[in-house]
Amino acid sequence: MKRFVSVLIILSMSLALITGCGSSEKETASEGNYEVDMEKASETTLGLAPFKERQKLRIGFFTGSPLSYPFLFADKLGYFDELNIDIEYVPFTNGPAMMEANNDWDIGGVGLGGLTNAMKGYDLRIIDITDYEENLALFVRPDHPLAEDPKDPENWKGTEWIYPAGTTAQAVLVNALEEVGLDMSDIESINMDVANALTGFQGGTGDGLGVWNVIAFEAEDTGFVRIGDAGTLGFTAPCGTVVSEKTLEAKRPLIETAIAVFHLTTEWIYESDENMEQAVAWFLEDGENEGIRINQSIAERVMEWYRGPTTGEFIEIFTNEAPDEAGIYTKRDLIQAERDILVGVDFFISQGNYTEEDREKFLDDGLIDPSVAIGVKEMLDELQIEY
Amino acid sequence: MSVSDPNHLNESEYVESVRRERKRSQYQSAILSVIGILGFLILWQLSLVTGLVNSRFLSSPIEVVSLFITKLTDPRPDGAVIGANIVSSLIVALSGFGLAIVIGIPLGLLMGWYKGIDSFLRPIFEIIRPIPPVSWIPLTIVWVGIGLQAKAMIVFFAAFVPCLINSYTGIRQTREVLINVAKTFGASDFTTFLKVGIPYSMTMTFAGVKVAIGNAWATLVAAEMLAASSGLGYMILMGRQFGRVDLVILGIAVIGLIGTLITIIINAVENKILGWRKL
């Protein structure tokens, strides 16, 4: 009897343990009052209508990558405050961790690897393209033969590369190999996160290094030679903003306003050298606060390389339609955002990371969602804001 | 015939009845263990089938077994079949674990027996002991790069402490009377250490070895986070990278199962070596 009771207790505890795993539901997906005061639109800097009630938006913030920063700049410029919005930043330094914690933010900004992870693992919707990242770079030491001639396949064969596996850094490496008629089987790969990869490479490990953003410029400043990057290799690496369907339904007006602010602020960055200098200063300040190894020169280069779409470009990216360039998906034409993201998804599929079924599901389920862009367009048209 | 009435039994019958009772108890324990595991798996499966748990956050045991079978031959999505991942992790874990045994146990025994060595090394050990193994990662990269040596070193830091502490405590508990007998018969201090102290410490030492292998496996994922191109920890990381909860659970389950298998092997070795200590 005693043993039977013990077994029962253990089984009950097991059930509690298992069910505990499934209790992760969005806590903030409740409808709020998102009424705006159209009459006060002319009083705000961007010409957007402020909310009547104070709103709060939690942003999954990718620290050290410019893809998230226009939100921060808009906040510093007081744009969100004028619109009666409080921003709460939830900082992360990698996409998978941000996706795992998707209960803790309303919208989150990540790179291409994170976007695919978000669709596959969490059914999140991509509602914005925030950057076309070009600074995904490959480095070798100055005395390595690849530094002198990266076009010679013999210099690549048997080399050992350190990079974060399953990310766009790998995609850039594969592109570089394909350029000289090689593939991944011709080299050795070691998976490391970007910060540790640079430390390991500095310590003498490996022949090549694949890193991005701040770390790429740090590698450059250390004296390593950049032999290729996403920009020069023609690899499209869109970054974007994701949201759950539930949160989008519950907070659509707030999210559409925030996305509009993001792109109008991106335009503000490009508007003048002074604005760019201010953006660099804020990027540097935030990097230092977050403990990132950064300096003025690196901050300047990060912002110079930033390729965030303007408001008009954003709306075009999510509304221009054309057939699937790969010719695989024939059920409907695809929007440009889908075609851009599929370039990366197709790469991941070619590496065995995802499947053709995943690709089809992303498109069938409309996980690259133009509704926010359309909503922003309608809002700007109504307020007669040029874009 | 009952064991509780031993007065009516001769010696061999009594021994036989005790053995039977022990076997019956072992059999009952085994049955309960199997029921416990099966019950857990059934509840796990039911919680998903009934929708109590969202399948996005937890894969079912059937899916995990199915993925295990697939991964026997299919390297996707992490780039290595499960066998290659297991071998890679075993090499890392057993290298660090082996190193911990080779260094930790003799050091613990010497510290426990010789006061001078104890006084000299103990303060350093006491400082090193509470440091979490993963905090060594940045320094390890700088010191030994990111190869097998580095990963084995992280595992070593996790496994070394219980090996040393248990062998140290074990030899310190050597009964004074046994030491005195050895001395009375003219044994030198070193002979007494070798023939009395070390055998006496073995029960505690083996307990430390079992804790150490647990620590070694537990640190595996962290060690493979350092740098890897295959391994169970790497497989878990890639599962995370690609939003594949089934791959993560498979990695966790295989680590757990192999850890259990290694503990069983160590228990068997312990029984073989220390069988004389059992009643």
For chain A, which residues make up each domain, given as ranges?
42-132+238-382, 136-233
pLDDT tier at B6 (50, 70, 90 boundaries)?
low
Q: Is A199 in the B-facing interface, judged by CB distances under 8 Å? A: yes
Residue B224 pLDDT exceeds 90 = no
Question: What sign has the CA pseudo-torsion A339, A345, A346, A347?
Answer: positive
pLDDT of residue B4: 52
Of the options 1.10.3720.10, 1.20.1280.290, 3.90.1300.10, 3.20.20.450, the CATH number for the domain spanning B61-277: 1.10.3720.10
Alpha-helical regions (H) of chain A? 2-20, 69-76, 79-82, 95-100, 112-122, 145-148, 153-156, 168-179, 194-202, 213-222, 230-233, 245-271, 273-289, 296-304, 311-317, 336-350, 356-364, 371-382
Q: Residue B51: what residue type?
A: G
pTM of the shown model:
0.81
* Alpha carbon distance A310, A11 (integer Å): 57
How do residues B22-69 score in pLDDT, each as one tens digit? Answer: 889 889 989 998 999 999 999 999 999 998 888 878 999 999 999 999
Q: Residue B39: what residue type?
A: G
pLDDT of residue A195: 80
* Alpha carbon distance A327, A337 (integer Å): 16
What is the distance of C-alpha B153 from the center of its chain?
17
Nearest-CA distance from A80 to chain B in Å? 33
The burial class, CB within 10 Å (0-12 / 13-18 / 19+), for B149 is: middle
Between the alpha carbon of residue A275 and those of residues A73, A266, A269, A279, the distances in Å are: 10, 10, 5, 6
Question: What sign has the CA pseudo-torsion B55, B60, B65, B68?
Answer: positive
CB contact under 8 A, B77 and A113: no
3-class state of residue A322 by DSSP: strand
pLDDT tier at B1 (50, 70, 90 boundaries)?
very low
* Alpha carbon distance A49, B88 (integer Å): 59
* Alpha carbon distance B67, A61 (integer Å): 34
Alpha-helical regions (H) of A28-78? 69-76
Structure tokens at A383: 């307020």
* Alpha carbon distance B212, B100 (integer Å): 8
3-class state of residue B6 by DSSP: helix
Helix or strand holding residue A243 (H, E):
strand A238-243
Q: Residue holding tokens 């009964």?
A: B175
What is the distance of C-alpha B57 from the center of its chain?
29
pLDDT of residue B123: 92
Structure tokens at A92: 């992360």
Q: Is B66 in the A-facing interface, judged by CB distances under 8 Å? A: no
Residue B275 pLDDT exceeds 80 = no
What superfamily does domain A136-233 belong to in CATH? Periplasmic binding protein-like II (3.40.190.10)
CB contact under 8 A, A162 and B146: yes
Per-residue pLDDT of chain A (387 residues; tens, 9 = 90+): 565 566 566 556 655 555 555 444 444 445 678 899 898 998 999 999 999 999 999 999 999 899 999 999 999 999 999 999 999 999 998 899 999 999 999 999 999 999 999 999 999 999 999 999 999 999 999 999 999 999 999 999 999 999 998 899 999 999 999 999 999 999 999 998 888 899 889 888 899 999 999 999 999 999 999 999 999 998 889 999 999 999 999 999 999 999 999 999 999 999 999 999 999 999 999 999 988 889 999 999 999 999 999 999 999 999 999 998 888 999 999 999 999 999 999 999 999 999 999 999 999 999 999 999 999 999 999 999 988
Q: Is A9 in the B-facing interface, judged by CB distances under 8 Å? A: no
pLDDT of residue B2: 47
Q: Which fold has domain A42-132+238-382?
A: D-Maltodextrin-Binding Protein; domain 2 (3.40.190)
A268, A73 in Cβ contact below 8 A? yes
Per CB-CB distance under 8 Å, the chain A contacts of B43 are 11, 14-15, 18
CB contact under 8 A, B142 and A199: yes
In this structure, chain B runs to a length of: 279
Q: Is A350 in the B-facing interface, judged by CB distances under 8 Å? A: no
How do residues B123-150 score in pLDDT, each as one tens digit? Answer: 999 998 899 888 888 888 878 878 888 8
**Interface TM-score (ipTM) > 0.90:** no
How do residues B172-222 score in pLDDT, each as one tens digit? Answer: 999 999 999 999 999 999 999 999 999 999 999 999 999 999 899 888 878
> What DSSP state is assigned to residue B228?
B
Q: Is A189 in the B-facing interface, judged by CB distances under 8 Å? A: yes
CB contact under 8 A, A15 and B43: yes
CB contact under 8 A, B141 and A113: no
Of B40, B54, B234, the CB nearest to A22: B54
Residues 6+ apart with CB under 8 A from A147: A140, A141, A225, A227
Structure tokens at A123: 């059914």
Q: Is A122 in the B-facing interface, judged by CB distances under 8 Å? A: yes
Of A18, A120, A199, the CB nearest to B141: A199
Say what percent of chain B tops pLDDT 90.
Answer: 60
User: CB B279: neighbour CB atoms within 10 A?
Assistant: 2
